[in-house]
Amino acid sequence: MKKAILLLLFVLIYTNSQAQKDFQGMAVYESKTSMADFKVRMEGNKNINPEMQKMMEERMKKMFEKTFILNFDKSASIYKEEEKLDANPQGGGFRMMSSMTGGGGTFYKNVKDKTYTVDKEFMGKEFLVKDSLASLNWKMEAETRVIGGYTCYKATAVKEASKTDFRNFRPKKEEEPKKDADKPAEAKKTNFMDAVELPKEITITAWYTPEIPVNQGPEGYWGLPGLILEVNDGKTIILCSKVILNPKEKAEIKPSSKGKVVGQKEYDETVMKKMEEFREMNQGRGDRGGMQIRIGQ
């Protein structure tokens, strides 16, 4: 009898171990960044008609509204933008800005080893960024809400703003206008990079569900006792719209291997250098026409 019980116990432990090993999930996230502070206009360029301007504004919208797929298991995950056919592929500055808004490449993170690998294309060059995962000091809150049928708990954290993530930039605070009741306030025209600034820190609000007990989330977010279903940094909201546990088709969860291997610091320095070159190249174009940003009404 003891042998039978021991055998049954062994079978149960083995079965549970295999189930844990084979466990996998898939989550769909919708990412949206508010651009309400900025108004895109084509100033002084006779070659840009209303139809072209509309197209440019639609491209800007696409850059800040994306769909991502997260495939995860107990220890690792891959997060990648959903592939879509685009009849009007982006080019030039739009492609550069798009690569800085979370799109493109595969973000792999291993929460067991606390490392991540992400392949990025920037200015025609491929990079493979490898580094350690940042550990956020999450503050657990008692507040709850339901997302997609899952009970979620609130957690907040403060983190340093990334210099190479365009979504972190905010409009510069304008100087107080001179008091003149007879003259209406005029919008300020400026080069785009001169119109924004980067805050030192940003506050993150996350909602996670212990009902899916994995230490995972979208992008580089992790470290909570349950799958993160929503992240909000004040400008960008990443919200899970669908979850499938143990899908029939298993995804291959492994890091990319293409591109020049660099650390995050080296990659950031490369991007910042190119951004400065881009800013200098576009200075003075206001008189010759081109895309500018109107700050204000």
Q: Summarize the confidence of residues 235-257 as an average pLDDT.
A: 94
Is the Cβ–Cβ distance between 129 and 263 less than 8 Å? yes
| Lookup: tokens for 152 | 């979620």
pLDDT of residue 297 exceeding 90, the answer is no
Percent of the chain at pLDDT exceeding 90: 45
Neighbouring CB atoms inside 10 A of 162's CB total 17
Is the Cβ–Cβ distance between 53 and 47 less than 8 Å? no
- Categorize the per-residue pLDDT at 73 as very low, low, confident or very high, splitting at 50, 70 and 90: very high
Beta strands in the chain (DSSP E): 25-33, 39-43, 65-72, 76-81, 106-110, 115-122, 125-132, 139-147, 150-160, 170-171, 188-190, 196-197, 201-209, 227-232, 236-245, 260-262, 290-295
At residue 57, the pLDDT reads 67
Whole-model pTM? 0.75
Query: Of residues 161 and 49, which shows the higher confidence score?
Result: 161
- pLDDT single digits (tens) 180-192: 555 554 445 455 5
**Whole-angstrom Cα distance, residue 108 to residue 283?**
37
Collapsing DSSP to helix, strand or coil, 16 comes out as helix
The region of weakest confidence among 27-41, 106-120, 189-203, 253-267 is 189-203
